[in-house]
Amino acid sequence: MTKINRSKAREGSNNEANANQNVCALMVATALNVQNEVRYLHVIGDLKRAISSKHSLRSVKSMVKSDTVGGARKKLDGQNGATAYMVWVDGHVLLLGADGATIVDTDPRQRDRRKIKGIWGVYSK
C-alpha cells in the first residue's frame, strides 16, 4: 500500500474550512453519516475506511461492466441489495443511489463520460 504524504495532501486540499478533508469525499461521507469517523478524507482509502465503520462496502465493478459513469448508471438497479454506490473517477468521488440516480456529485455533468476507476456497493450492516 502506498504511503500518503499528509502534508502534501493538506496543501492540495480543496476544503478551506478543514484541510484534512477534500470537499467531494466529505460530501459523500456526510450523505452516509460517516463524516466524523476518520480524521482524514483525502484519498479513496480514507473514504472507504470511514464508510466501513458503519456500512459494508463491496466492489461491484465486475457486475456493472461499464467504463464510464453514464454507462454504469444504466446498469444499477438495486437488485444486489446495495443502498448506494460509491464511484471513484480520476480526482473525484461521487455517490449514486441504488437506482443509479445522483445522491452527491460536486462536479456534475450533463453527459457523464468520466472513466470509472472503482465502484463499490454500500450495504447496511
- Look up residue 121 and give its three cell numbers: 456497493
| 74 falls within a domain | yes
With contact defined as beta carbons under 8 Å apart, do 95 and 31 qualify? yes
Report the domain count for the chain.
1
- Which domain covers residue 83, as residue numbers? 6-124
Q: How confident is the model at residue 79 (pLDDT cuts 50, 70, 90)?
A: confident
- pLDDT greater than 70 at residue 1: no
Does residue 1 sit within a domain? no
Q: Establish if 114 belongs to a structural domain.
A: yes
What's the first-to-final CA gap in the chain, in angstroms?
Answer: 26
The candidate with the shortest Cα–Cα distance to 86, out of 78, 94, 74, 98, is: 94
Residue 87 grid coordinates: 464511484
> Is the residue at 116 inside a domain?
yes
Check if the beta carbon of residue 104 is closer than 8 Å to that of residue 31: yes
pLDDT digits (tens, 9 = 90+) for 7-66: 988 988 899 999 999 999 999 999 999 999 999 999 999 999 999 999 999 999 988 888
